[in-house]
Every structure is written in structure tokens, then in C-alpha cells.
Amino acid sequence: MQTHWNSLPVDSPFGGNPDSDRAYLELLIEHSPVAIVILNSAHQAEQCNPTFERMFGYTRAEIVARNFDELIAAEETLNEARECTLSVLHGEKMHLVTRRRRKDGLWIDVDVHGIPLVIDGVLRGVYGLYIDITDRTRAESSLRQLSLELMHLQEKEKRRIARELHDATSQELALLSMSLGKLQRKLGSEDRELVELVDNIKELTRQCTQKIRSASYLLHPPLLQEAGLIPAISWLAEGFAERTGIRVNVRISSKLGRLAEIAELAIFRVVQESLSNVIRHSTNKIVDIRLSRRTGSIELSVTDRGRQHRGAAIADPVRSHGVGIAGMRERMQELGGHLQVRSVSGGMTVVASLPAGVRASA
């Protein structure tokens, strides 16, 4: 049987006849759906399997004795590839997700493992495994794009409903309240039962007006656009504390200034979702909100704390099926920032960071 593996530096790992063992091993590699390449200790390619040839478009003869990094890690990933090579040549295993270039110039996304082949304490070469994940990363990127579009549509819809509630329902309730006032004056004070009834209706109307107002502001806070994050977050925190009895400490740096509208909305939504997570998932009674401008970035943290006894461990948000944290993360990433969620001493901290110069068009 013709194989490419006759220089593979292995002893009989399966016992028995060394020739059969070698043929067995060769078959495994030959038919592997994972692209495999063997490099020597100078990081030159020695062998590759057919999957490797198909994935990168090079024949085995074309890669042998070539500098492997220069071959498939052109300019933009060359330094990264060289660093990995050095680590593996120093005996470390490495795993990374990156991009590599095919012979025809096309880039593919790959999941790479580099394994040092050390035999009797001597580095004989490197075992490289490549899995083409281009389709997967494309699908993930379209999914991310789709969920961002959904989020933007949701924002648009929230804004429309907020405007409708404010401009139509609130105005109608104001008219109702005025009419009830007129009715009250006409009734005088003779029929006590009727006076009480109108009083009750007026009070209910007042409560409805307040609820509609809060609902409209939560859907789309006018304060945010008009006056920025400081009053909008303070208003949100006050309302939350009033409704839930949870103490909220807000500390926002006075140097924050105004940010692009899209960044202010994203930060507001992170605070909003974090507060709603506290009420849904935590028994803590204190929340700290910090927002500051650092060199080059805007940093937000929302921490809930105060649990006397540590209760059940917080579920791993990465494994949860909720969309709240994933949505916050996407909002930040869309603007070039990032989001971290940490559980610390019985509480949860959400840390969001955005580049200070996010532009409105980002």
C-alpha cells in the first residue's frame, strides 16, 4: 500500500508486528476527516494527509521542506503563527481559532491544534490538526447579524409604542381627569356617595396616568435623548428602588459627558436588563451602578450584593438559555466594546466597556 507516512517517527504503539501497527496508524491518518500535517523540529512540513491537501489546495510534494508558517499564514496572521510555532517548539500544546490562506489565495477559518511530538525527551516534530470551520463562523456571523437587526427593530417598535402611549393614551387620560374635575365641581358636596365615587375614579385615572408614563419612559426614555445618561439612569434607579424596595447606589462620573445616541441607548439597556435580572434572579437588596470615563473607554458596572448567607450558586449565565445577557453582549460588541459577567461573593457583576469615541454611525 502506498502511503505518505513512512517517515512518521513512532514506535509500535499497539504491540505485535511493527509493520501492521504502522499500516494501521497510517490508515487512521490517511482517512482522517481532520487535516493533519507533520512538521519537523525546524518547523518544515514533512507529511500531510489527503484532507490537508483538499483543505489547503497544496499537494504533499508542494509543502515538503517549505517554511510552513509562510506557506499558509500569509502577512496578517504570520506573527501569530510564528508565536504559536515557538510555543509548540518549546514543548507546549496549543489550540486556537484563526484564519489561514489556501494556495488559491482564499482565506478559511480554522480550528487548529499544535501538538509537540516529543519522543524520549527529544522534540521530533509537530503534529498539526486543522478543522475547517468557515461554514460555522459564517453561520454564526449571520446569526449575530440577524439578532442585531432584530434588536434594532425591537428598539424601533418600543419607540413607536412609547410615542403612542405618550401622545395618545396619556393625552386622553389627561382629558378624562379634567372632565372628572369639572364633574366634581358640578356635583358640589351634597351626594356623598357620588362624590366618593368620582374621587375614586379620579385617583384611578391618576394611577393609570403614572403607570402609562413610566411604561412609556421605560420603553423609550425621553430623558436619555434630551439630557443624557446621568438623569436617565438616576430616574431608572429611583423608579426601580421605589417599586422593589431594593437600594440602588448610582455613581456616575461628572466627566462622563454626552456619548453617541446609540452608545447611550446601549448603556441604558444594559443597566435596565441588569436591574431586571436582579429582581428576577437575585435575593440581594443592594445594587451599585458605576459609570465612568476612563482613558479611551466608557466603563459601566452593575453589581448586586448584600446577601448575608450565600445562597444557591448563581447559574452559569453562559449555559443559560436567557437572551438578556447575550443581547447585552451583542449590543456592546456591535459598538466595538465588550461585556463580562462575574459572580462574586453571593452577587453578580455585569461589566460593560465601550470605546469612548463610538460614533453615531457605528
Ligand X SMILES: Nc1ncnc2c1ncn2[C@@H]1O[C@H](COP(=O)(O)OP(=O)(O)OP(=O)(O)O)[C@@H](O)[C@H]1O
Note whether 73 binds ligand X by CB under 6 A: no
Q: Is 128 helix (H, G, I), strand (E, B) or coil?
A: strand
One DSSP character per residue, 175-206 reads: HHHHHHHHHHHHHTTS-HHHHHHHHHHHHHHH
- End-to-end CA distance of the chain: give it in Å, rounded: 59
- Which of 18, 181, 311, 322 forms a contact with ligand X (CB under 6 A)? 322
Note whether 325 binds ligand X by CB under 6 A: yes
User: Could you tell me the smallest distance in angstroms from the CB atom of residue 66 to ligand X?
Assistant: 48
User: Could you tell me the smallest distance in angstroms from the CB atom of residue 332 to Mg ion?
Assistant: 15
What one-letter code names the amino acid at 250?
V
Note whether 346 binds ligand X by CB under 6 A: no
- Which of 185, 280, 308, 313 forms a contact with ligand X (CB under 6 A)? 280
Q: Is 71 helix (H, G, I), strand (E, B) or coil?
A: helix
Note whether 324 binds Mg ion by CB under 5 A: yes
User: Would you say 279 and 246 are in contact if contact means Cβ atoms under 8 Å apart?
Assistant: yes
Task: Give the closest residue to 160 by CA, choosing from 226, 220, 214.
Answer: 220
User: Could you tell me the smallest distance in angstroms from the CB atom of residue 311 to ligand X?
Assistant: 9
Note whether 279 binds ligand X by CB under 6 A: no
Note whether 315 binds ligand X by CB under 6 A: yes
Q: Which does 114 bind (CB under 5 to 8 A by kind): ligand X, Mg ion, none?
A: none
Note whether 287 binds ligand X by CB under 6 A: no
Q: Which residues of 26-59 are buried (b: 16+ CB within 10 A; e: fewer)?
A: beebbeeeebbbbbbeebebbbbbbbbbebbebe
Chain residue whose CB lies nearest Mg ion: 324
> Which residue number, 179 or 340, has a Cβ lying nearer to Mg ion?
340
- Which of 348, 352, 354, 358 forms a contact with ligand X (CB under 6 A)? 348
Cα distance between residue 80 and residue 103, in whole Å: 19
> Which residue number, 270 or 354, has a Cβ lying nearer to Mg ion?
270
* Sites of contact with ligand X (CB under 6 A): 277-278, 280-282, 304, 314-315, 317, 320, 322-326, 348
